Amino acid sequence: MLILKFIGSYLLTPVLWLGILYVIISYNQRINKERKQFRVAINKDFYEGRNFIKYGLFFFVIGSLISMILGLTLPTNSVYIYQILVVLAFLINGFSTTSMLLAMTAAGILELVVPRFITFFGDVFPEISGPSWLLLIFISILADYYLTRNMKKHPLSPRIKSGKRGRNIATYLGRETVVFPLLALIPSGTLFSTLNFWPVFNIGNQKFSLILFPIFISTSVKVIKRAKERVIQDKLKNIELLLGLTFVLIVLTKFMSKLFLISLIILTVVSIFFEIKLRKKEKDANSWYVETDEGIRIISVQPETPAAKMKLQPGDVILTCNNRVVNSEEEFYQALQLNSAYCHVKVRTYEGDLRIAESAIFMDSPHEIGLILFH
């Protein structure tokens, strides 16, 4: 019964329901935009919702182990302060690690320069809690890293726009969102004083309670010019450096608590720098996912289709199909009908390599091969 009440208190947190709502909206937007542009949903699977639950349970176990081993202890008012910061992060620039760091930095500066801010919210970032807040950031960035790495497994959702020379260009966006409960310690005080069922225990001369702290994580990958794998790999390297920096700052603030706000500012500046650097790399790249006169470029590949089995990728250019040169979608499907049960294609990959791909296809159903192509 106690465990059910414990879980029930977490289920009432606004951040959890904000995350659920955000995932549902993200899924519907993806499906609707794909149907509007391509007349079909490229991937109908509600993987956003499945990953929300799967990764949420995984991060709960890993994050809580880290929290309990290192003794993560947060101020009494941290639960509602964090949820206010999540909303503020959304208002800044949609939710991301950078926007969350910006929100925390803004709150820390306001607390320093506006006395009324402390009067209204209480002591937001007391010096003694600096290492714990940084540990919370570390766990969040670690979850961001895992989510980003796993985006390699899912196709990004394409968008079509008109280029400067009249040709259509494809860009790609992927997003993963999760809210997970994190076991943490909190001083037993007014927040739980009216809850007789809440577990309280002593460590030394101080009383503590266990809480399930809601952590909101949302990460995105946008591909404009480079291959998805390269963009994700660069982002992962940036997150690794940010993780290392956060760990160093945790150690420093453990011995010099006054460094907490400076640590937040450093993390925010570095995170912004990494985002700008990533965007610049994308801007400076020479390639585009653009229509071509030689062959026909693949915009996207539907999962669990013959095209997916052939390991065709967005950006690949189909040069021949069943030994016939193709330069348009119409010519491609005409070539497919030369063999009603088998497909043999020669493609030039987005990196410029030539390869042969072949697979059985659905009998007399060439349009079910699973390719989204430029018209």
How large is the average pLDDT for residues 219-231?
Answer: 93
Q: Dihedral sign, CA of 364, 368, 369, 375?
A: positive
Q: Dihedral sign, CA of 157, 161, 164, 165?
A: positive
Rounded Cα distance, 50 and 56, in Å: 10
Rounded Cα distance, 11 and 59, in Å: 16
Q: For the whole model, what pTM was predicted?
A: 0.88
Rounded Cα distance, 144 and 123, in Å: 28
| Residues 139-157 pLDDT 10s | 999 999 999 999 988 889 9
Which residues are CB-neighbours of 269 under 8 A, at least 6 positions away? none
- Write down the pLDDT at residue 372: 92
Sole residue written with tokens 């009324």: 116
DSSP 8-state class, residue 140: H
Rounded Cα distance, 295 and 319, in Å: 4
How large is the average pLDDT for residues 183-208?
Answer: 60
Rounded Cα distance, 172 and 229, in Å: 12
How large is the average pLDDT for residues 338-359?
Answer: 90
Confidence at 13, pLDDT banded by 50, 70, 90:
confident
Look over the chain and give the mean of its residue pLDDT values, rounded to a whole number: 86
| Residues 18-60 pLDDT 10s | 999 999 999 999 999 999 999 899 999 999 999 999 999 999 9
Question: At what angle are helices 78-93 and 14-38 packed, to 10 degrees?
Answer: 20
Return the amino acid letter for 33: K
Rounded Cα distance, 255 and 374, in Å: 59
Return the amino acid letter for 76: T
